[in-house]
Structure 1
Amino acid sequence: MVAKELISALIPVIHPTDSGAQALGLMNEFHLSQLPYVMDGKYVALLEEDDILDWDNPEILFENIPLNAFKPAVNEQAHIFDALKLFYEFKLCLLPVINKEQEYTGVITRENMIATMAQLNAVNEAGGILVLEIEPRDYSLSEIARIAESNDVTLLSVNTFSNPATGKLDVTLKTNRLELQSLVATFERFNYIIKHLFVEETGEDVLRKNYDLLMNYISM
């Protein structure tokens, strides 16, 4: 997935003939603290609400104000991980997207980015989550996948995190199964350390819990 596939068509831009007050009004309307400044179709800067609030006169037009050089952007053909990196690095609420001619093509909103990352990591899919703690030199995705397949478990997503406190990798496996005890046992048999196990409740589990709560309430 590339950046241009995440563009939101709803976010306005600021032009040189707009005033600071107009920009603040749009930021308030769209619940944003940043908006792109575009001149002749070119992306010029990312305007910050706090900077405009510091103006002595918010009615001044942008064409009469020297702008800061804050200009984060991502190419429309870049992978979404490049966009995610900029969101994280600059704490953005939106990220302008440009083409190879530096022309403005739109923005990616933080909400779009979060929704896309959720889809990529299958967070809406039913299934348990298993976190392994592994020495970096011992990490083998092919072996992990083979162990999962031997238990008839499909890995919907795999994420790794280098834990600075331990120097080890936390490998998070999102699976398609709600019951993972057999998979856990197999990993332990291969000397894997199970750091965390998160299993969603089935409909039957939820029904039983609600029934028990009702019975406890009636007996009070």
Structure 2
Amino acid sequence: MTVITDYINNDYRALDSQETILAAQDFFMDASYSHFPVLDAGVYIGSIVADDLETFDTDKKVGDYKYTLEPFFVRPNMIWLDVLEVFGKNHSDIVPVLDENNHYVGYYELADVMKFFNETSFIKEAGGIIIVKKALIDYSMSQITQIVESNNGKLLGLFVSDSDNETIEITIKVTLGVINDIIQTFRRYNYEIISEHNEDNYINNLKERSDYLDKYLNI
């Protein structure tokens, strides 16, 4: 079984604070990352931003711009969803990994973490996606689970895909075969169905009635 720590990478060594900005620019020309970790005497001090390098004096050292480094990192024991959150919050395609003693271990690449995500049941198993919307104060994850399972469906995963101060959208993946029953039950519990489904009898009936009305009015 693959675990996320299998993706800790050391293909490139971390940049040293004593390297010149020119050397760092040359590195990013080859590696094409958005960020990369910097060590000072072997200690992680932050990640340098590739775009920032364009404005730096090439004769100076990386350590001269210590104040521009971004200090984000993850631990080896963090679950992949928390790791993915760090990627998103920092708009980076690289995240450094530090152990419990703050020693630099290596780094994760976003492409590898997404590969790990693709191996989860949410992506890998066959199923259908339903996106529902409801008032923020009224929704319940336990109710969503109950709706799926009460219609003999199997929940493969769900997550909050959008929200504001009033409403929340939840993306749900369920086994195929009972999607229409699940959709209709969500409607009975006042969930708005955001996604479109060929199996949605309610919408199909509305379309048929609309087509019939159009045909009648054009007679």
- Secondary structure of 1:123's aligned partner: helix
1:61, 1:190 → 2: CA distance? 61
Normalised TM-score (structure 2)? 0.73
Q: How many residues matched?
A: 197
Pick closer, same or farther for the CA change 1:186–1:12 going to 2, 3 Å.
same
TM-score (norm 1): 0.73
Unmatched 5+ stretches in structure 1:
201-220
Matched residue of 1:116: which SS?
Answer: helix
Higher RCO (CA 8 Å, separation ≥ 6 residues): 1
| Contact 2:151–2:178, Cα closer than 8 Å, also in 1 | no
**2:205 aligned residue:** none
Q: Percent identity?
A: 22
Tell me: CA distance 1:196–1:21, structure 2 relative to 1, closer, same or farther (3 Å): same
Q: Residue 51 of structure 2 aligns with which residue?
A: 50
Residues 67 and 144 of structure 1: CA distance in aligned 2, closer, same or farther (over 3 Å) = closer
Partner-residue secondary structure (3-state), 2:196: strand
Deviation at 1:102, TM superposition (A): 1.6
Runs of 4+ in 1 over 6 A off after TM superposition: none
Q: Which residue of structure 1 aligns with residue 37 of structure 2?
A: 36
- Alignment partner, residue 184 of structure 1: 183
Residue aligning to 1:212? none
Deviation at 1:127, TM superposition (A): 1.5
Cα gap change, 1:33/1:188 in structure 2, threshold over 3 Å: closer, same or farther? closer
Name the SS of the counterpart of 2:70 in structure 1.
Answer: coil
Q: Quick one: distance in 2 between partners of 1:198 and 1:127?
A: 13
Secondary structure of the structure 2 residue equivalent to 1:67: helix
Q: CA deviation at 1:7?
A: 2.0
Deviations 1:121-149 (A, max 9, x none): 72243221111222333323333223222
Aligned Cα root-mean-square deviation (Å): 3.0
The answer as to whether partners of 2:157 and 2:172 remain within 8 angstroms in 1 is yes
Give the whole-Å Cα distance in 2 for the aligned partners of 1:129 and 1:31: 34
